[in-house]
């Protein structure tokens, strides 16, 4: 068993991969994340994630699978929310930077002071 090499982790996502992932997920977010009676079936969502995978892999440092992409998307959303939260808890009203950080947040998820003007 000592002869088996330890499992190596994949390379970090590069900027191009992240940009393509964000672009594609936002393009298909209604299918992927809609709630209620008009939501997509798990099979439809799986096909959309496969389509996104086929768009990301040509610019990827190493082959990505759907689970890698979903995890990266969750991490991006979490980071965006935490940055926005830290910014909104700072001194004074949040400025344009807070609205720019809200790229990955739905309008109803943004704090009222940071919501971009309609």
Does any domain span residue 109? no
Residues of the domain holding 72: 15-88
Least confident of 24-38, 54-68, 100-114: 100-114
Does any domain span residue 59? yes
Q: pLDDT, tens digit, for every residue of 80-95? A: 888 878 777 764 444 5
For residue 106, pLDDT over 70 is answered with no
**107: Cβ–Cβ under 8 A, 6 or more apart, which residues?**
115, 116
Q: Which carries the bigger pLDDT value, residue 67 or residue 80?
A: 67
Q: Alpha carbon of 110 to those of 42, 79, 89, 100: distances in Å?
A: 28, 14, 13, 11
Does any domain span residue 28? yes
User: In terms of C-beta density within 10 A (0-12 exposed, 13-18 middle, 19 or more buried), how is residue 17 classed?
Assistant: buried
% residues pLDDT > 90 (the chain): 48
Q: Alpha carbon of 1 to those of 7, 8, 9, 106: distances in Å?
A: 13, 16, 19, 49
Q: pLDDT, tens digit, for every residue of 13-51? A: 999 999 999 999 999 999 999 888 888 999 999 999 999
Count of structural domains within the chain? 1
Q: State the Cα–Cα distance between residues 80 and 82, nearest whole angstrom.
A: 6
Does any domain span residue 76? yes
Contact predicate 78/70, CB 8 Å: no
Does any domain span residue 83? yes
């Amino acid at each position: 068993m000592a002869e088996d090499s330890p499992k190596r982790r994949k390379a970090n996502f590069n900027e191009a991969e992240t940009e393509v992932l964000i672009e594609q997920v936002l393009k298909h977010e209604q299918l992927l994340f809609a709630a209620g009676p008009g939501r997509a079936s798990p099979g439809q969502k799986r096909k959309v994630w496969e389509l996104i995978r086929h768009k990301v892999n040509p610019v990827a440092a190493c082959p990505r699978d759907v689970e890698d992409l979903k995890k990266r998307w969750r991490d991006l959303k979490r980071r965006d929310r935490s940055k926005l939260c830290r910014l909104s808890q700072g001194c004074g009203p949040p400025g344009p930077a807070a609205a720019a950080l809200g790229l990955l947040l739905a309008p109803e998820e943004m704090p009222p002071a940071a919501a971009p003007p309609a």
